[in-house]
Structure 1
Amino acid sequence: MIRTASKPVSKRLRLSLQIALATTFVSLSTGCVGTANRGAELAPVASAEAQESNEAGSTVQALVNLGPRVAGTPTAEQASQYLIDEYRKAGYQTQVQTFTYSKFRDEGSTITVDGTPLEGQALNGTIAGKATTPLVAVPNVGRPADFANLPVNGRIAIVQRGEIPFTQKAENAAKAGAVGLIIVNTEGGTLRGTLTGKPTIPVVALSRDQGNPLRDRAQAMPTTVSLVVNAEERTITGRNVIAYLDGVTQPTVLIGGHFDSVAGSPGANDNASGTAVTLDLARRMAKTPLARQAWFVAFDGEEDGLKGSRAFVEAAQPQFLSGLKAMLNFDMVGVNQQLQIGGSSSLTAIAQPKASIPKSVVNGSSDHAAFAAKNVPVLFFYRGSDANYHTPNDKTVDPKLLNETSQTAMDIVQQILKVD
């Protein structure tokens, strides 16, 4: 489904985009859309470099001020509209490519003991369910033999994580007659797991600190618990924001980064930083010949499995992708001094003098992977792990690092396109 603004898209523009992409993107109205609160602006400074740094930093702050930008939520849509407005201010046409996918959501799962609720984490793919029954501690990790001679039928089982897949644990518990399964993490923190196939009983995880005492108690004495797994699959609508100069239907370089974040995290470094650098590059290129060969994309749904970038490449015509000399992806570039760049050998040869090129940087966990799978040369810009990754504390970045990343990327793009 394509959402449009009040003005209809022109026939000429519609046809040009149909040539480039297999799906039709519908142009938004040329009027400005609502902007987010840009937050406190940094004090103006004299140098152009500092001003560019401030602009990218302000973009991060504006996105952080919105709150967690989880795909499919009103906040994510507000973030996409903010980006549309900023690209239009820089002189670009904008398109929104919408796409849908199924997403598992835990709306709150608990195990209540003696009137005290313990917060559980429903495993991805579990069915919802409720049960109040005695709890049976299963020794070891939940292999079929571990359930032998235990009074599991009609009861809730509790087992340790490890050695065999979560799905096998659930299947073995169900075959033994259990009406629910609790899996206890063997490491610190929350256990987030995925079940494959079609589970027939609700499955929830507990942290080690909460789960081990409960399992020990069930071994030592009769213990009744109430299990509530409140989870479901929902259809999510994501929004890729695409910007380009009027008439540019076949870019040579595509520059992008994802703007969504995980639940509970304002996502400054992951990945308002990459979103800001992408927009910063668009601003820098706007009045140069480089912009006539570039598209800029803010991808949605990356945190749910690269949904936006995969939707983009699947919609693109083969000749559109084959016409790309490079896809540059920016993810987590606002923290840590060392800029790391990885990707296709033809492009890392250009990037080599600019930054470190560790082979470990390139993997399948960010949006360049969807393009690499279609044989598009890629470069991935990254500054390494962040202590605040996927936490509520991901609130700040260093604007100077954003500026440094933008300048490095500008130099690389100039060499790729051989344009001064």
Structure 2
Amino acid sequence: MLTRLALLGALLLPPALAAPLPATVETHLAAVLPFGPRVTGSEANAAARRYLTEQFRALGYEVRQETFSYPRFDDLGSGLEASGRLLAGLALQGSVGGEVTAPVARVAGVGTPEEFRAANVRGRLAVVDRGTLTFAEKARNALAAGALGLVIVNNQPGEVRGSLGERVPLPVLTVTREAGASLQAGERATLRVRVREGDVTGVNVVAAWPGVIRPDFLFGGHLDSVPGSPGANDNLSGTLAVLELAGRLAGTPRAARSVFVLFDGEEDGLHGSRAYVKSHPEIVRGLRGMFNFDMVGVNVTPLSVSGAAGLVEAAQRGAGVAGRAGSAGGSDHVPFAGAGVPTLFFHRGLDANYHQPGDLLADPLLIRDAAEAALRTLEALEQR
């Protein structure tokens, strides 16, 4: 009877008094994903950072947060309205903001000066397909031909995120192939480009075992995601692979030779890893290796590695993963490789939900498998 009553009492305990769930990849995914897209500078990013900081501390690590800032261009909600239809779009970085209502002019071709003139875009909203010419060339040509605004239609599925690469005094919007096909020549449309430019503050989470000053290895992955994407695979999967490694190494001699970093600002241009390399030259010079985890939670292709030949060989020998020497992928290992650090990039390919709202799933088994491959690589290095 006492046992049954004790069990009933435990079931009726309020959540605050219930026993905590074990810290696993599954519980971390369930805790962080509901925060939403972890865009640098957002509350969701800060909430995820607070949660993960506490997880490192619970494992016995000392954690510090290192801030940095950089200029960023933000789309505050741009789009088109045509004949009562609302069409979503994305402003290209370098575009000016503004609202323009005018007839649509469809441009045949890729947007050469002659093609804009032939379409008679003066005083109109020019609509042209993506491809061949750069975004900036299309924008300059549209402006020179007298267009009041420019809509660039993607020539492949999905949205277009990008930059003009320079300042062009013209509102420029990108739309999907489907949205572009619905725009008819001559119909009146309103183009709204709402943008903001200013500095954003990023925060790297740096965890190290007490007393570690000069680590041999750095294990990293970026915590931030792009606007609109919850970032389960890109890159909560890599973040949790780093946390899993920290848990596996906690209290061991290897922990005393390691540092774990969750980088911020990767999606805006590797700002967090660049800031770390710049701020810690003495640590960077002494690293035997930087292991970077990005998109390891969806098995588009089997786990593979790329990077320094010695590290790739150790991963192949110790973990049996496919690999090739040479840097690949625009992720946080790049600034370290540029500083002369041997790097190893763990990756499973770009899944169908890359940078999309559907990036909601990551497989805990694959995440643990990536951490295990890193451990086996370390063992292989030690056996040389």
Q: Same fold (TM over 0.5)?
A: yes
* Shift of residue 151, structure 1, vs aligned partner: 4.0
CA distance, structure 2, for counterparts of residue 287 and residue 323 of structure 1? 22
Which letter does structure 1 place at the counterpart of 2:253? P
State the shift of 1:418 in Å: 6.1
How big is each residue's C-alpha offset from its partner over 1:106-162, in whole Å with a ceiling of 9 and x where there is no partner?
A: 112222222332222212221101112222233322211123365433332222222
Rounded to whole Å, the distance in 1 between the matches of 2:212 and 2:78 is 49
| Alpha-carbon distance, 1:396 to partner | 2.7
Task: Tell me the residue number matched to 2:241.
Answer: 277
Q: How far, CA to CA, are the matches of 2:325 and 2:191 in structure 1?
A: 42
Q: CA deviation at 1:378?
A: 0.8
Task: Give 1:325's match in structure 2, choosing from 245, 263, 288.
Answer: 288
Aligned residue type for 2:262: A
- Give CA-to-partner distance per residue, 1:58-93, whole Å, 9 cap, x none: 222222132221111011011111111111111111
Instruction: Say whether residues 1:350 and 2:314 are aligned partners.
Output: yes
**Residue among 209, 220, 223 paired with 1:245:** 209
What's the CA shift for 1:266? 1.9
> Does the 8 Å CA contact 2:309/2:324 hold for their aligned counterparts?
no
Change over 3 Å in CA distance of 1:256–1:202 after alignment to 2: same
1:108-187 matches, cutoff 5 A: 108-148=77-117, 151-187=120-156
Structure 1 spans left out of the alignment, 5+ residues: 1-36, 45-53
Pairing of 1:10-409 with structure 2 (within 5 A): 55-148=24-117, 151-214=120-183, 217-218=184-185, 222-317=186-281, 319-336=282-299, 338-353=302-317, 354-359=319-324, 362-409=327-374
Query: 2:306–2:328: 8 Å Cα contact kept in structure 1?
Result: no
Confirm or deny: 8 A CA contact 2:308 2:326 kept in the other structure: no
Aligned partners of 1:244, 1:418: CA distance in 2, in Å? 24
Partner amino acid for 2:202? G
Q: For residue 5 of structure 1, what is the aligned residue in structure 2?
A: none
Listed one character per residue, the Cα deviations across residues 336-389 of structure 1 (whole Å, up to 9, x for unaligned) are 272212210011121112133343994142111111111100111122232332
Corresponding residue for residue 412 of structure 1: 377
C-alpha separation between the residues in 2 aligned to 1:358 and 1:410?
16
Amino acid aligned to 2:59? A
Q: Which moved more, 1:93-102 or 1:134-143?
A: 134-143
Evaluate the alpha carbon distance shift between residue 360 and residue 146 of structure 1 in structure 2; reply closer, same or farther with a 3 A threshold.
Answer: farther
* One-letter code aligned to 1:77: A
Mark the CA change 1:410 to 1:150 in structure 2 (over 3 Å): closer, same or farther: closer
2:345 match: secondary structure: strand
User: For the structure 1 residues 137 and 411, does the alpha-carbon distance in structure 2 shift closer, same or farther, using more than 3 Å as the test?
Assistant: closer
Q: Tell me the TM-score normalized by structure 1.
A: 0.81
Contact 1:137 1:159 in 2 (8 A): yes
Report the number of matched residues.
365
Partner-residue secondary structure (3-state), 1:406 = helix
SS class of match (1:111): strand
1:3 counterpart residue number:
none
| Partner Cα separation in structure 1 for residue 137 and residue 46 of structure 2 | 39
Q: Provide the rounded CA distance (Å) in 2 between the counterparts of 1:308 and 1:162.
A: 31
Distance in structure 2 (CA, Å) of the matches to 1:385 and 1:150: 38
Could you give the per-residue CA deviations for residues 12-67 of structure 1, whole angstroms, max 9, x where no partner exists? xxxxxxxxxxxxxxxxxxxxxxxxx9xx988x8xxxxxxxxx71232222221322
Instruction: Tell me the CA shift for residue 204 of structure 1.
Output: 1.0
More off after superposition, 353-362 vs 308-317: 353-362
Letter in 2 for 1:204: L
Please tell me whether the aligned partners of residues 340 and 355 of structure 1 are also in contact (alpha carbons under 8 angstroms).
no
- State, as a whole percentage, how many aligned pairs show the same letter: 43
Separation in structure 2 between the aligned mates of residue 387 and residue 83 of structure 1, nearest angstrom: 27
For 2:326 and 2:358, the matched residues in 1 are separated by: 24
